[in-house]
Structure 1
Amino acid sequence: MATLLLLRHGRTTANADGGLAGRQPVELDETGRAQAVAVGDRLRPVPLAAVVTSPLIRCRQTLELALPQAEPVVEEGLIECGYGAWEGQPLKKLAKEPLWPVVQQHPSAAVFPDGESMAQMSARAVAAVRAWDARITAEHGPEAVWLACSHGDVIKAIVADALGMHLDLFQRLVADPASVTAIRYTPLRPFLVRLNDTGGDLAALVPPRPKRRRRAARAVDSDAAVGGGAGSAG
């Protein structure tokens, strides 16, 4: 199967001010713009079969700066969680709300007032990336690499699914602004190749072309490397 690169948008004015942007049209701040340019330099050696994005402007701005030659396709399933009445509120204030401990410790039960549940967010995001991954694999082959630009909680939910983690554990994960997380789906299990990468060599994520082999041997694509393996060639 193809390799998915999950890119979180660069830092926004809301991030810098300690607010919860949600689906509001907040834009990148100066730091976020610099982060987007920097991650674009890291992505340059990677041939991307497709680029998809959340419809929110902070993701689209990130891609305009990082991948100016790309033609991103908007995917509604990658939109930020619908935080409802929480949107635009300072995080310090929200931390005093009765729902806050639920979001932190039992997010699978968290339903935001006038918004969506975290479980709904997870389900539609995971469904979106798995559908895109299957489509890109079918069209471009299992060595293809594609990119999806989204939001912190959305990316963490996708990673939790890939790791077989219950959503209640996803707050243990981190997705910094402009970070890259790589997941390789296979017929039997996903592999988390990178998590919250903010400075590594992304060219190493391009899978090598496989040697000719019998069809039956392809089942090993889903096998983990016992002992840890030799890593990427480079």
Structure 2
Amino acid sequence: MLTYKIHLIRHGLTTGNVGGKYIGRTDLPLCEEGIEELKKLKNKYEYPSAQMVVSSPLKRCLQTADILYPDLYTEKWEDFVELDFGAFEGKGIEELQHDEHFSKWLESGMQNPPPGGESGLDLTKRISVGISRLFKKMMDEQLGSVALITHGGVIMNLLYGMGLPKCEISQWAVDNGKGYTILMTPQFWMRDRAFEVYAPLPYGLSQDEVQMDTLRFTKPGEKA
């Protein structure tokens, strides 16, 4: 039975990431530091080859795809755009720490929607449809390896909801330019709607080196 590989890669660094802000639908490009860091990662480690590249339509993901897979056409899929942070968009912890809505959002494990934003459940439903559609395309076209350039929130929720082994959602937080290869088989997906988390990306990094420091997105004195 053919095993299909999807390489989940978070986009490179933006000015919003540098400032520790919640950046969802704001269409920021990569910053110079982000571009250089991606090039360093690509030169030092190995990003897997792919037969197709799928990306969130936001600039930071499309630029990342161009740097990591310059010879492949990139398909834009709305399914894999970042969570809509609503009223929290563009703000950091210091601005939000006294906001009652923000406290309740964190207490819910970021599953309840921010004011004017998207809930974790809505995000999970959206990306579940997207990954199903992508897997079907891979099977129909016999594509064994696809790179998916997307966002931190998308990767976290995808791995938390459908990935094995099971881990706390914070353990799936990935740093910029990094991610995981997942393995999908038709039988396992049809039976359990699940996949195996195979290896950190780029190849050569440990899981500890892939994970993002989530402390910058929690309230002072609070654990991630």
TM category, shorter: 0.7 to 0.9
* Local SS of the residue matching 2:51: strand
CA distance in 1, matches of 2:46, 2:71: 12
CA distance in 2, matches of 1:77, 1:52: 10
Cα separation, partners in 2 of 1:123 and 1:95, compared to 1, 3 Å? farther
Select the structure of larger CA radius of gyration: 1
The residue number in structure 1 matching 2:220 is none
Cα separation, partners in 2 of 1:200 and 1:105, compared to 1, 3 Å? farther
TM alignment of 1:148-167, pairs within 5 A: 148-163=148-163
The residue number in structure 2 matching 1:217 is none
Deviations 1:179-221 (A, max 9, x none): 02111122224111024x35517xxxxxxxxxxxxxxxxxxxx
Question: Are positions 1:21 and 2:18 aligned together?
Answer: no
- 1:38 Cα offset (Å): 3.6
The residue number in structure 2 matching 1:200 is 204
CA distance in 1, matches of 2:46, 2:69: 8
Deviations 1:133-165 (A, max 9, x none): 221122125xx1101111111100111122369
The residue number in structure 2 matching 1:70 is 72
8 Å contact kept, 2:53–2:148:
yes
The residue number in structure 2 matching 1:115 is 117
CA distance in 2, matches of 1:53, 1:96: 35
Amino acid at match of 1:116: E
8 Å contact kept, 2:46–2:202:
no
* Local SS of the residue matching 1:191: strand
The residue number in structure 2 matching 1:231 is none
Deviations 1:19-78 (A, max 9, x none): 22221121212221023224444456x331211100111101111122111211000010
CA distance in 1, matches of 2:19, 2:25: 16
Runs of 5+ unmatched residues, structure 2: 189-193, 206-224
Amino acid at match of 1:78: F
The residue number in structure 2 matching 1:57 is 59
Question: Are positions 1:191 and 2:196 aligned together?
Answer: yes
* Local SS of the residue matching 1:107: coil
The residue number in structure 1 matching 2:191 is none
Amino acid at match of 1:173: W
Amino acid at match of 1:176: D
CA-based RMSD: 2.4
Amino acid at match of 1:112: P
The residue number in structure 1 matching 2:99 is 97
The residue number in structure 2 matching 1:206 is none
Question: Are positions 1:181 and 2:180 aligned together?
Answer: yes
Cα separation, partners in 2 of 1:164 and 1:92, compared to 1, 3 Å? farther
The residue number in structure 2 matching 1:216 is none
TM alignment of 1:81-92, pairs within 5 A: 81-92=83-94
Runs of 5+ unmatched residues, structure 1: 202-234
Amino acid at match of 1:193: Y
8 Å contact kept, 2:10–2:176:
yes
Most deviating of 106-115 and 26-35: 106-115
Deviations 1:103-152 (A, max 9, x none): 434236411211211111121112202220221122125xx110111111
Cα separation, partners in 2 of 1:192 and 1:55, compared to 1, 3 Å? same
Amino acid at match of 2:155: I
CA distance in 2, matches of 1:116, 1:7: 22
Which of 5, 9, 28 is the matching residue for 2:11?
9
